[in-house]
Each structure stands twice: as structure tokens, then as C-alpha cells.
Structure 1
Amino acid sequence: MVDPKPLLPGWEDLEISTQIIIRDAFLRGITVEVIDRKENFLRLKQGNHIEFVKEASKTRLDSLMTYLVMENKVASKLVLGENGVRIPVGKDYSKLEDAVSDYELFLNKKKVIKPVTTNFGIGIGISNPMDSLETFTYYCKQAFSFSNSIIIEEFIEGPEYRFLVLGDEVVAVCNRVPANVVGDGIHSIAQLIEEKNKDPRRGEGHITALEKIQMSETERLVLSEIGYDFMSVPKKDEVVYVRKNSNISTGGDSVDVTDMIHPEFKTIALQAAKAANAVICGIDIISSAIRETPDPKRYAVLEINFNPVLYIHEFPYSGTPRAVGNKILDLLGFT
């Protein structure tokens, strides 16, 4: 089993992506100074060469405006659409009452409701066709609690993939599977979650390779939609998803698929990054046929992420680990 904290003792309080950069810097003889531990802010020195790195993937290589465009989902969708990138159809709202008033507009569709300016899947809800107004309103309120504006857009069926773009290359791709448990016909969902959370790779606060699965109101609501609660006992081998979003930060599983995807999807990811003038970013693509030639009816680019985590690629739940930390040091010009 992968050690969730693979670095020297004393660095465990830092997020694991930052630990990866520190580990790889040490191996190159680069001096590492932590100038703000809570912010995961580093200064790296190699001779006269000095670089600042924040949260592993924020560097001088991307401008402030590039960060702002990637952070704001309305702005990122705008630049993606204008550059011919396939994106989901939707609308943005700055008032809760306006979003709720469009309930019937989205009633017959599966839709994603998400804040405009968050990362790590925070505040995202997925509402099914014919969901009640109460459920729809709950997801809208949840999204607004994290941002002044929200987006409601079509839900594209299929697994979600994170493409890590570093410079002119897609260096890793992973399938992010929503938080889930597998039934054994004996234990309740709550017990299965507790057991899965015993995996030493799971923790809290991005200091381990995986995050613990939570049992909050969001998970309870997802279970209620399929007639379950935390005390329900699923059948043997039944996969029960307790989240609809696929973020590793909310308990999902990372599965490396770098060598399995159709190469044209890498081209699409690079096109998306270029649209935002991004050097380091994560491109989220959803597709029901990732191994086939891209069909606009079966995929869409969901987001450009301005602070892509490294650990989901270095320490996947399953699949081949990818050495991505060194790629960032290469881009920064370290030898």
C-alpha cells in the first residue's frame, strides 16, 4: 500500500502536493524554504536561481489574469467557447430568486449547479430530471453559499477525467470516481464508509493521497434519491455512490488512465489550456467514450483548474503513478 506521507518527518502538516515538490527539489539539491506553512508557500533556491511556488502549482509561469480567468467559471467558459472548445450549455445567475425562477426551464434535464468561483468541487450539486423544487433550491442555495454567482448547465453523461497540463504537454490523466462504497450484503453504508476510511491513504485537508468520505447532509441527500440512508445495507458487490461530483477532495477515487485515452483528447485539453493562456492547469473533461475519437455529443470540457493537485497523479487509488512534480521543476528551469 502506498505510504500517504512519503517525505521526511517534519513536513506532514503541508498539503501532499507541496510535499511532492519539496521531495523532488531535495533530490535535485535545491534548497527549500517554507515561508508560510499555512499557505504552503515555498521559496526554492539553486545557486542564483530563485523561484516562489505556492500550493505546488502556482508559479510565476501563469499571470494573475490567467488565474482569475481560470478561477471564474463564467470567464473560463467564455474563453473556451470562443476558442471552439466544446462546453456544456447553461446559464449563470447572480441572484438566488432568478435561479429558482428557472426551475421549470431545467426540470426535464439532468443539470449541474455550481458556484462560479470555487475549486476542489466545493458547493457543486447535481440535480436529476424531475427533481422537486425543494431539492433544486437546496442545490442553488448551497452553490450561492460559496460564491456571489452560480452556473446551471447541462449534465454530460460519462466518467470525468482530469488532464494535467504542464507547458505544452499533457503529463497525466486520471479518472476521478465519485465517493463510493461497495456493498457486501452485511454491513450498512455508514459501516462501509468507516471501513473504507481506514485506508491509511485517506485523511483530511489534502495532506494524504486520498480524502476521507464524509457523512454530511450532501451525502445523505444523494442516498435519499435512491431510497437509501446511512443505515441501509446494499447488496453484495453493489456500488453505492454517496456523492455526484467526482472530486478526490470529497472522497472520490483517482484511477490513472494516461495510457488509455484517445490522443485527440490530449489535443483538446491543450487547446483548452491555450484558450486561457495557462501554462500549469488541470482540464476536466467528461466523456462516455474516452478511448474513441472525440464525438461532440459524447464529451465536453467542464472546467479549467488554476491550482491542479499533483497527488492524484503521483499516488492514484489505482493505476500507474506519474512523476509530475519534477515536470514543474523542469518548467521553472531548475536542473
Structure 2
Amino acid sequence: MNRRARRYLRSYSMQFIFEEADRRGVEIEPMVLMHGQEKACWYVLTYRNHTEVTRFELMNPIASVADQVCTHKVACKFMWQRAGLSLAPGKGFYLHDTEAAIRYASKIRYPVIVKPVDDTHGRGVYLNLRSEHALRSALKELRRVRPEDQEIMIEAYRTGKDFRVFATRKRVLGVIHRIPANVIGDGTRTIRQLVDLKNQDPRRKPTMTAIKTIQIDRTVREHLDRSGWKLTSIPKKGEQVFLRQNANLSTGGDSVDVTDVMHPGYKKLAVQAIRAIPGLAYAGLDLLAVDIRRPPTRQNHTWIEANSRPMLSMHHDPVIGKSRNIAKELVDLLFPETVRKTV
């Protein structure tokens, strides 16, 4: 990769794509649109007379409308309902329409989730709201930081292990079990000290990595408090303490590759989920499941959403398990004429 392209590199996931493209002789040119801009969102990729424009991990094989469906959680749910996938009941509302949202939550029964329909990395998501009071508090908190016409989704809360499935219209390329940020007790260190120790792993960094630093913030303190812990508590040896409820890797969660143990039935459903959205060439699919080693049933799993700009770096650099070269597959889609150039 040339020095200028590397200088403006914005995404760790894109680094894998560009390195793969560069090995095949594809020229990479950052599109710097604003004076003083330190990172580029857009890039021009050229191989001979073939030119493509990419934005983050969004590339030409994905149609514009398919991307819009994926970035609107209610639209994605609608398409998946048509395909007969196993989903949690959910419906879209404007943030200002509090009473309608409350009535719907009562209809589908608590606990519920509230989340913006178009955000990522778990921002603005409130999980396991077990009462009308808890839901009203979450909506009030959202109104403090979001406009009144913000679209949100009220959804039934489902439990299960958290998985990210990277699939194309033909097959599954990688599966990651995402585990919420956590520490394992040694019987002597406090939770804060255990976090500091875990963050000493050289792979954990704030940016440009698939394995993020664990940040201690208000969300962590509140979750520990609800769980009966404090940062000064000393867990027993071998005792696992979760620091958050969500399993987002961006907040320090752990990634474990489980591609080879996923039951073929789930892989078939993942391809079905991709094909359910016209124009979607690939995506990272969020799945909750009891045990992905066993056949899927309507009762043991729930499909959550599709990500057309997935964090593919988690498959290249998992905390535990085999690395999966997702970038190769994407460059194959983008520049099929270069496939034979890869060793």
C-alpha cells in the first residue's frame, strides 16, 4: 500500500482490504474532500481500466438500497419477516411518540429493548427494560441527546449468546462469538486492577485494532452496581465478572472464532438472510443463539440485524481462535479478474 493511502487510512478493517488489493496490483487513492482532513472516508481503487469507489467497508457489490435497508433496523426486520426468519417482535416509533411506544411495549410484554433504528456500536441502546418506569426513563434519557423526530425501535428482549456471522449470498465466511467486556478473578486483585492487567495485552488499543481497550465509564459502574460489584471488589480465583451487558467489541468485548463449530443449519439461514435483501452481496449478521452447535429451531435463536459495513477485522484478529481472511473474499467480489494473482 502506498504511503499516502496508509497516511489517510481511517479503518483497521479497510487496512486488510487494501493490503489484499495492493498484493494484486490494485492502485489505492484516498479521496480527501476537505482541507485539513486527516482521514479519508472514500477511496478510489483502480486495476487497469477497472475503477471502484469504496466507503469504509461499503463497496460496489452492495446496492445503495440494500445498504439503506441494513442501516434501518425496522426495514431490515421487515425484509427478514418476509423471508420467515426467527425474529423478536419489534416496531418503529418516533421518539416524541412516547405513549404509543409504551402501549406497544405492554402489548409485546416486558422486558423490552429500545434503540435508534440507524445507529451502530450499541450507541443509544437500552437493554432488558423490565417495566414501564424503566422504559420511560430510557426514552427520557434518549430525548436529552437525540432529536424529537429520531426514529427508534421497541423490541422484545431476547437472551442467548451473541454471534456475528459474516456471510455472502453463497456461504458463511466467518463466525465470531462476542463476549461482553469482562475480567477473570485471581483472588487477590480488585476489578479495576484486573481491567488494568487485561489492558496490558499489546493487542488492546483504543483505535486501529480489532481488540479494543476496556474503558471504565458510567455504564460499567452502573452495571457492576446492579450486579452487586464495585471496582474495588476482589473476585474469587476463576470467577468471571462482566463489565457490561452488551457484547460490543468496540467497548472491550472478547472475540472467539467459532466458524468451524456452527451447525450447517445456521449457515443455511445466514445465506437466506443475505438473499432476503435484494442487492446485498455480503453483511455481518447479528445472531442470538442458545447453542450454535445444535440445529436451529424457532425457539433457540433470534436474528437481530444486518450490517452492510461490518467490522471484518474481528475475523482477521480474534482474541481466541483461527484468523479468517475475509478481505480476500471481498476483493474477489470487487475485482474478480485479479483472483488468480493471489498466492
CA contact (8 A) 1:34 1:43 kept: yes
> Across the two proteins, how many residue pairs are aligned to each other?
325
Determine the C-alpha separation between the residues in 2 that align with 1:166 and 1:196.
34
Matched, 1:59 2:59: yes
In the alignment, residue 193 of structure 1 is paired with which amino acid?
A: V
Question: Could you give the per-residue CA deviations for residues 287-323 of structure 1, whole angstroms, max 9, x where no partner exists?
Answer: 0021111011110101111211110000001000001
Structural mapping, 1:18-37, within 5 Å? 18-36=14-32
Deviations along 1:39-67, one digit per CA (max 9) or x if unpaired, are: 44222111111111221x20111122111
Q: CA deviation at 1:101?
A: 3.7
Per the alignment, do residues 312 and 141 of structure 1 end up closer, same or farther by CA in structure 2, a change over 3 Å counting?
Answer: farther
Residue 241 of structure 1 deviates from its aligned partner by 1.1
Aligned partners of 1:236 and 1:8: how far apart in 2? 49
SS in 1 for 2:230: coil
Distance 1:98 1:191, change over 3 A: farther
Please say if residues 283 and 310 of structure 2, whose CA atoms lie closer than 8 Å, have aligned partners that are also in contact: yes
Q: For residue 266 of structure 1, report the CA deviation from its aligned partner.
A: 1.0
Match of 2:113 in 1: 112
For the 8 Å contact 1:163–1:283, the answer to whether it is kept is yes
Structure 1 counterpart of 2:294, one-letter code: E
Q: What code does the residue aligned with 1:25 have?
A: A
| Structure 1 residues 220 and 152: CA distance shift in structure 2, 3 A | farther
Q: Does 1:191 align with 2:224?
A: no
Which residue in 2 is equivalent to 1:267? Answer: 268
Q: Scaled by the length of structure 2, what TM-score is found? A: 0.87
Is it true that 1:88 corresponds to 2:88 in the alignment? yes
Match for 1:32: what amino acid? I
Structure having the larger proportion of residues in helix: 2
Amino acid at match of 2:115: K
Aligned to 2:35: none
| Partner amino acid, structure 2, of 1:217 | R
Could you tell me which residue of structure 2 aligns to residue 227 of structure 1?
228
* Residue in structure 2 matched with residue 281 of structure 1 by the alignment: 283
CA drift at 1:137: 3.8
Q: Deviation digits for residues 82-136 of structure 1, max 9, x if unmatched?
A: 1111111133331353377459828974333221111222222212546x82x44
Give distance in 2, aligned partners of 1:9 and 1:26.
11
1:257 equivalent to 2:258? Answer yes
**Paired residue type of 2:234:** V
For residue 290 of structure 2, what is the amino acid of its counterpart? S
Q: Distance in 2 between matches of 1:298 and 1:162?
A: 16
Amino acid at match of 2:154: I
293, 296, 299: which is aligned to 1:297? 299
- 2:127 maps to what in 1? 126
Residue deviations 1:241-269, cap 9 Å, x none?
11111111121111100000101101111
Query: How far apart, CA to CA, are the structure 1 residues paired with 2:104 and 2:197?
Result: 39
* Match among 16, 21, 34 for residue 12 of structure 2: 16
* In 2, Cα distance between equivalents of 1:211 and 1:11: 21
| Letter of the 1:247 counterpart | N
Task: Give the Å deviation of 1:8.
Answer: 11
> Which of structures 1 and 2 has the bigger CA Rg?
2
TM-score (norm 1): 0.88
Consecutive unaligned residues in structure 1, runs of 5 or more = 1-6
Output the amino acid matched with 2:263.
Answer: H
Partner-residue secondary structure (3-state), 1:88: coil
Aligned counterpart, 1:3:
none
| Contact 2:287–2:304 (8 Å) recurs in 1 | yes
| Distance in 1 between residues matched to 2:103 and 2:189, nearest whole Å | 41
Counting only pairs closer than 5 Å after superposition, residues 72-87 of structure 1 correspond to structure 2 as: 72-87=72-87
8 A Cα contact 2:168 2:282, kept in partner: yes
- The residue matched to 2:139 in structure 1 has which SS? helix
Give the CA deviation at 1:10: 4.8
Q: Does 1:140 align with 2:139?
A: yes
Q: 1:173 to 1:8 in 2, by over 3 A?
A: farther
- Which of 302, 321, 324 is equivalent to 1:322? 324
1:137–1:250: structure 2 CA closer, same or farther, 3 Å change rule? farther
Greater alpha carbon shift after TM alignment, 82-91 vs 261-270? 82-91
Identical aligned pairs, as a percentage? 32
> Is the Cα contact below 8 Å between 1:114 and 1:125 reproduced in 2?
yes
The alpha-carbon distance between structure 1 residues 53 and 167, as it changes in their structure 2 partners (threshold 3 A), is farther
Contact preservation (8 Å) 2:93, 2:101 = no
Asked if structure 2 preserves the Cα contact closer than 8 Å seen for 1:114 and 1:150, the reply is yes
Q: Who is 2:247 aligned against?
A: 246
SS for the counterpart of 1:232 is coil
2:9·2:40 contact (CA, 8 Å) conserved in 1?
Answer: no
Paired residue for 1:158? 160
Deviation string 1:172-194 (CA, Å, 9 cap, x unpaired) is 11111111111222222222222
* 2: CA distance, partners of 1:78 / 1:100: 18
Distance 2:136 2:4 in 1: 47
The aligned amino acid for 1:253 is D
Paired letter, 2:21 = A
